[in-house]
Amino acid sequence: DFIDAYVRLHELGWAHSVEAWLDGELAGGLYGVAIGAFFAGESMFHRRTDASKVALVGLVEVLGPVTGALLDVQWSTPHLESLGVVEIPREEYLDRLADAVALPGPVWHAGPVGSGGDGPTHDKGGPK
């Protein structure tokens, strides 16, 4: 089933999560699949206002240093557009996708993104 598939993808180093924590409790996050410098976001959630936005900013920090990184958020919504998401034509997307999957991706590790403490964290791993 879906959960078992994502657990297996994570064990293999392909599925990753970025979480937002506040006062030691999970406030929100996102997860998806990474192939090289490409990250396909599957879902975002929040338990606290704007926590999914914090997680998305954390993901952008993880991908930021990676030349040619492509973050696919599936569709554009006013919420995602407010965070800087832009739609690109299909042909451009396919070209950028082909480039991104061929490039080395970020180093995924457990722990804080950015300044540490409460805020976004991401998991560990990478394709094995």
Model pLDDT for residues 40-78, shown as the tens digit of each residue: 999 999 999 999 989 999 999 999 889 999 999 998 889
Cα distance between residue 9 and residue 99, in whole Å: 22
Cα–chain center distance at 79: 16
On whether residue 127 sits in a domain, the answer given is: no
| Beta strand pairing call for 15-22 and 25-35 | antiparallel
**Domain CATH for 102:** 3.40.630.70
- Examine the pLDDT at 108 and tell me if it is beyond 90: no
Q: Is 123 exposed, middle or buried (0-12, 13-18, 19+ CB in 10 A)?
A: middle
Tell me which of 108 and 72 has the higher pLDDT: 72
Tell me which of 87 and 83 has the higher pLDDT: 87
CA nearest neighbour of 9 among 27, 25, 31: 31
Q: For residue range 13-43, what is the model confidence (pLDDT) as tens digits?
A: 999 999 999 998 999 999 999 999 999 999 9
On whether residue 57 sits in a domain, the answer given is: yes
On whether residue 52 sits in a domain, the answer given is: yes
Lowest mean per-residue pLDDT among 26-40, 46-60, 85-99, 100-114: 100-114
Q: What pLDDT sits at residue 128?
A: 46
Q: What pLDDT sits at residue 6?
A: 92
Q: How many residues does the chain have?
A: 128
On whether residue 128 sits in a domain, the answer given is: no
Cα distance between residue 108 and residue 127, in whole Å: 10
On whether residue 35 sits in a domain, the answer given is: yes
CA distances from 74 to 77, 80, 115 (A): 10, 10, 29
Count the domains in the chain. Answer: 1
Q: What pLDDT sits at residue 34?
A: 96
- Residue 27 sits in which domain range? 2-122
On whether residue 61 sits in a domain, the answer given is: yes
- Examine the pLDDT at 120 and tell me if it is beyond 60: no
